[in-house]
Amino acid sequence: MPRLEDLETSLVTLKGKRILVRCDFNVPLRNQKISDDLRIRAALPTLEWLIERGADVVACTHLGRPNGRIDPALAVEPVRARLKELSPNVEILENLRFDSGETANSPEFVSYLISGAGGKAFDGYVNDAFGASHRSHASVVGPPQKLPSAAGRLLEREVEVLGALRTTKKKPFLGILGGAKVSDKLGVIEALLEVVDQLIIGGAMCFTFFKALGHEIGDSLCEVKQIDNCKHLLDLGDKIILPSDITALSPDGAIGNDHGEVRQMGRSLPQGWKGLDIGPGSAAEFEDAIHEAKMIFWNGPMGMFEDPRFASGTRAIGQAMADAKGFTVIGGGDSAAAIAEFKFAPYIDHISTGGGASLELLENGDLPGLIALRKS
C-alpha cells in the first residue's frame, strides 16, 4: 500500500495542500458525551504528521447508523469538540452517513467529497479508518480512484499486525473467539483453524457446539442451522477447545438486575436455564493456555460481561492477556470494550480499532479499502 511518504512524494510537497483523511471516529456516545475516545487518539499520529508538513487537513467519519437521514443525535459535534482539544488545526466534515450516497458508494457523493464537500477541492486522500475499510463505501473506496492516496499510520499498523497473524512463526499460536453467533464468525473460525495451534470458543457461540456434541443446553442461545457446521468443525481435529463448565441463570432470572439464581454447571443445562458466562474451571484452563502461548488473538467476550454476575470469564481472559508473555492482539469490538472497562488496555500489545474489519482481514486476507489504495 502507498504510505504517507509516498503521498508526499506524489504531491512534491504537502505544504499548502488540502488533504482529506477518512478516519473512524465512530465513538461510543452517552448523553452526547464521548465515553471512549480511543479511536480519535489513534488517528493523531497521522493527523499530526500531515500538519507538521504544512498540509491543510480535513477529517471525515461516519457516526452510528442514520440511514441517509440527518439525525441531530448523531451529528459529529462531540467528536469535533474532542478533536479540537487534541488536534486544533484539523477540521471535520459532518457525519458522512447523513447522505445515503456514502453507504451506496454513489459516484456523485464521491465527486462531492473530493471537490471539497462545499469547500476548496482536495489535493490528496488518506485512509486511516481501518474499522471502516471492510466496507465498499464512497469515502473508503471512491477517493483513491480520483486523488493521490495513501494509508495512514493507524491503518498501516493494523494491516501489519493483523496481516502477520496469518503467517506468524510465533508458536504456540492461540486463538480465542467469543460472542453470540457462530454464523457471524464461521469464516474466521475456518481461517483461524488453518493457522492456530488451539482455538478457544466461548461466549454464547459455545452452546451451538455443545448441541452438536449432544448436550442439553436449556434456554441458552443456539443457532440450529449451524449445528451441522459445528459438527464438521469439531470433526476436523482437536484444535477447538470448549468450556468445561458454565455460569447459568435460572428460568425466573433476568439480565441487568439481581433477579434469579446464578449457578455453576457443566456442559449440560436443565430446561429453562440459560448459560451466560464460562465457569471458573474453564477460565482457569483458558488462562493456562494463554500463559503458554507466544501469540494470542482474542475477539469476542466470554459472557454477558455487562452484567457483573456474568463478567468473571471475560475479566479472567483479559487479566491473563494482560499478564501474558506472548504477543497479545485484541480484535476490536466488544473485546476491546471489555479490555478498556477492566483497565487492561495498557498491557496489551495491539488493540484493533475494527472488530468486523479485523475478522474480515483474518478471514479473507484483504479488504476493499486496502484494495482501493493499492490501485490508486
User: Mind telling me the catalytic residues?
Assistant: 39, 181, 333, 356
- Structure-block grid coordinates of residue 37: 475516545
What is the spatial distance between Cα 205 and Cα 241, in angstroms, rounded to a whole number? Answer: 12
133 in Cβ contact with 357 (< 8 Å): yes
For residue 31, what are the contacts with CB-CB under 8 A and spacing of at least 6?
A: none
Radius of gyration for the alpha carbons in the chain, expressed in angstroms and rounded: 22
What is the spatial distance between Cα 102 and Cα 171, in angstroms, rounded to a whole number? Answer: 42
What is the spatial distance between Cα 62 and Cα 242, in angstroms, rounded to a whole number? Answer: 37
Which amino acid would we find at residue 189? Answer: I
Q: Spell out a b/e string for 202-217, using b for 16 or more CB atoms within 10 Å of the CB, else e.
A: bbbbbbbbbbbeebeb
What is the spatial distance between Cα 6 and Cα 22, in angstroms, rounded to a whole number? Answer: 17
330 in Cβ contact with 351 (< 8 Å): yes
DSSP 8-state class, residue 121: P
Q: Given CA atoms 105, 332, 78, 71 in this order, what sign does their dihedral have?
A: positive
